[in-house]
A and B are shown apart, each in its own frame.
Chain A
Amino acid sequence: MHKLEEKIRRAGEQGRSALIPFLTAGFPSRDAFWKALAELDAHGADIIEIGVPFSDPVADGPVVEAASRRVLAEGVTLKEILAGLAARKGQFSAGLVLMGYYNPFLQYGLEKLARDAAEAGVHGFIVPDLPHEEDSPLKTALARHELALIPLVGPNTGRERMALYGPGAMGYVYVVSVMGVTGERKELAATVAETMRRARSVFDLPLALGFGLSRPEQLEDLPEDARPDAVVFGSALLKHLDAGGSAAEFMARWR
């Protein structure tokens, strides 16, 4: 079983949804980022998604985009992120996933990316602008190092298209809760249960629900058979950290 899947299954055995915070690398500042990463890890994160900044993030809402722009202005690079993780290898018990757009990965070199990421203790990637039709070069490069390319599916992904992402998928499947971009919403869309059930029927992997989650109570609205194995939260955490809050405090709400 892939390490990322194992992390989520273990939470399930403990009778809870796995927690997957998202944090843009270098946010709110370089030092604060590494501190927050360690705190998230120590306070219940099962997997941590680390955002790799890009100048043109088409799947992101205003909070994640602003964070991305800010760290780019500070000069944060993919190379630096990988070096920082490599220097701290073995310090995190959570699974580590890099989430970012294709072009910075492509320019880094896909083979080199896979090798360096594996060496830095990364377990997988999420690339929101890489649909099935374009994902084979990266997927192949990652697979050589047992790194997962996490599929993203959403409310308008039918059974047939979901099935395209099945072969070779590892770790977990990211289910996008809304027809929109990242960012908090007050309520979960009515279609979430349907999307979750459809994904459940197609994939054998655990399902993580993301985009739009701001508080744990939102999940209680979902019927039991449509509840996710893991929840992803990003914008709410970024706002909390930017306002001077600590990662430990934030995690306490979700545990």
Chain B
Amino acid sequence: MKNAYFGEFGGCFVPELLMPPLMEVDEAMRSIMPTKAFREELDDLLRNYAGRPTPLTFCPTLSRELGFDLWLKREDLLHTGAHKINNALGQGLLAKYMGKTRLIAETGAGQHGVATAAAAARLGLECVIYMGAEDVERQSSNVRRMRLLGAQVHPVESGSRTLKDAINETLRVWIATQQSTHYCFGTAAGPHPFPTLVREFQSVIGRETRAALLEKTGRLPQAVVACVGGGSNAIGMFHAFLKDESVRIIGVEAAGSGEPGCLNSASLNLGSPGVLHGNRTLLLQDREGQIEASQSISAGLDYPGVGPEHAWLKSCGRVRYDMVTDARALNAFQRLCRSEGILPALESSHALAWVLDHPQEFSPEGAVVVNLSGRGDKDMDIIQRALALQEV
């Protein structure tokens, strides 16, 4: 397999038994994805089923307060509520072209699970979702949505019973089911070709943003900002801007509670190089190379690794990666609700919080675009509990 690396990051660290199906996906990515038939069918699904293109929304109140123009890329308006559907439809359709009849996928917060379940239902594929038992308890409404969409949901009891264990389990299941089944990997991480494949399906976000902003303002933005967990919405936003040297690119990780030494999900800022889930990247790990638990108020950012392309973009300095705490994300969530009438996902609230808390970083000239990767309806319980605690 060629081009499995981004600099020193990436690769394909999996059991030999997974090499044939990964090579099959790699081959499909090169031979099927570029065809006119595939592109037209995916384009139709994205437009008429998922709701693309998504709007680029100007924020009048916040822009006045901040002193520069703030725009939001509205992935929250997509079907199933987040950018995840871009990838699920892409991989689901690719699986169908490859002759597969089933999709399996991991999910953490449940957004990728719901998107995959919807894509599978729409495309006539069977669907089984693996989800950490702890997440099944924390995100019960998404579990109900997946089941209503016809997917089986398997709670994963091993390990820390969260996203990383769900990925381990799905990889194990894929070894046994590869003949009939495609593993619809949820973020731009994992073994090659997934980091590239997922980026290809998500980069529509940045392409649309770039074109829409040029059309509305006649110029490129001064900065684009996105939250980074595994990093699929971020790489989707960033990719179209990597060659635009005038555009600053900022990725925002989850710092957790922010207390010194607290659990967090900031592998780019606080991690070290290592191998997990099939790729060499930056990881939260101890000195012995054991993977540490991650933590964030936002379940979708709660992952101890990150996509290898982000590790590379950090190492070569093209993208700046910073962190935002649970409390500041919650503050940004409330501020967007009240000033613009938009209820963002807690994940996306991290990206927004960085902009709101660093107005001095931006000039009055030129737009700042935040990728609003998902909507916050799914987070109501968590937000209510967190706000209640703040009032105490």
**What is the interface of chain A, defined by CB distance below 8 A to chain B?**
53-59, 61-62, 65-66, 69, 72, 77-79, 102-108, 128-134, 151-158, 161, 176, 178-181
Contacts and interface: CB of A to CB of B under 8 A. Distances in A.
The 6 closest A-B pairs by CB, nearest first: A107-B289, A104-B289, A103-B289, A55-B290, A180-B176, A55-B291
A228 to B, nearest CB: 17
Contact of A104 (B19, B171, B290): B290
A104 B283 CA distance: 12
Given A131-B16, A153-B16, A106 B289 contact: yes
B14 A129 contact: yes
9 contacts: A54-B289, A56-B276, A57-B168, A59-B172, A72-B290, A103-B275, A129-B14, A158-B20, A161-B16
Q: Which of B16, B178, B275, B278 has the most CB of A within 10 A?
A: B16
A169 to B, nearest CB: 13
B13 A134 contact: yes
Contacts, number: 111
A2 B259 CA distance: 53
Contacts of A55: 159, 290-291
A53 B19 CA distance: 23
A61 B158 CA distance: 10
A233 B371 CA distance: 51
Nearest to A107: B289
Contacts of A134: 11-13
Contacts of A106: 274-275, 289
B19 to A, nearest CB: 5
Contact of B277 (A56, A77, A131): A56
A154 B175 CA distance: 11
B282 to A, nearest CB: 12
B288 A104 contact: yes
Given A58-B172, A179-B176, A181-B172, A107 B17 contact: no
Contact of A107 (B178, B274, B277): B274
Contacts of B13: 102, 129-131, 134
B278 A176 contact: no
Contact of B159 (A69, A79, A128): A69
